[in-house]
Structure 1
C-alpha cells in the first residue's frame, strides 16, 4: 500500500514539474519577427552610429505593438554590433512601450534609463 502511495506522489510530482517546465517553454515568446520589423522600420533611430533620430510613424507603430522586453531578450551579439541598446530603450520609452526587464541585450536597462 505504501509503495502505491509513493508511486502516486511521484507521478503527481512528475506531472506538476512537467506542467511548469512546459509552461516555461511555451511561455517563451517567439518575437524574432518583431525584432526583424523593429530593425527594418526603426533602423535610423537605433543604429549604432550617429545620434538618436526621432522615430518615423511606422516605427512608432511597430514599437507600440511589439513586446519590447521580448525583443531585448532575443538581441544577440551580432545585433549589438549594429544596434545601440541605449537607443532601443529610449525609443521604447518614447513610444509608450518601455522596456521593463533589467537587461536589453547585454546592457542593464536600469542604468540606461537613468541617462535619459
Structure 2
C-alpha cells in the first residue's frame, strides 16, 4: 500500500513539474524585451548621467512593452548600469506607470512614490 501511495505522489509531482516549466519558458520573453528596452532607452536611464528626454525608439519601446514585467526582469548586473529611478520615471511620463509596491530590480517602488507626487515638475512629453 505504501508503494502505491509513493507512485501516486511521484506521478503528481511529475505533472506539476510539467506545468511549471511552461511558466519559466514564458518569462524568457520579458528578458529579451528588457534587453531591447535597455538598448533603446540607455540615453535616458543610464546611471551617472542626468535624465534626458527619451528618443522616439525608446518611447515606442515603453509603449509596446509591459514595464512592470521588465522592471521585475532587471538583474543585479543590469542595476549596475541602469537607474531604477529613471526607469520608473520614464514609464510614468510615458503613461505606463509601474504600480507602487512593485519591485523594480531589487528596489521596492514605495521608495519611488515621491516621483508620482511631483508630476507637475516633469516637462517631458511622450507620444
TM interval, short-chain normalised? 0.7 to 0.9
Cross-structure match for 2:45: 46
Which runs of no fewer than 5 residues in structure 2 stay unpaired?
A: 117-127
Q: CA RMSD in A?
A: 2.6
Q: Is the 8 A contact 1:34 1:66 kept in 2?
A: yes
Q: Secondary structure at the match of 2:29?
A: coil
Q: Is the 8 A contact 1:76 1:105 kept in 2?
A: yes
Rounded Cα–Cα distance in structure 1 between residues aligned with 2:58 and 2:88:
14
**TM-superposed deviation, 1:110:** 2.1
Deviations 1:76-107 (A, max 9, x none): 11100001000000001111111126110011
What is the aligned length? 115
Rounded Cα–Cα distance in structure 1 between residues aligned with 2:84 and 2:35:
15
Rounded Cα–Cα distance in structure 2 between residues aligned with 1:72 and 1:56:
20
**TM-superposed deviation, 1:27:** 5.6
Q: Secondary structure at the match of 1:30?
A: helix
Deviations 1:11-33 (A, max 9, x none): xx879956874675466462122
Which runs of no fewer than 5 residues in structure 1 stay unpaired?
A: 1-5
1:110 and 2:105 equivalent?
no
Q: Is the 8 A contact 2:102 2:109 kept in 1?
A: yes
User: Judging changes above 3 Å, is the alpha-carbon distance between structure 1 residues 103 and 18 closer, same or farther for their aligned structure 2 residues?
Assistant: same
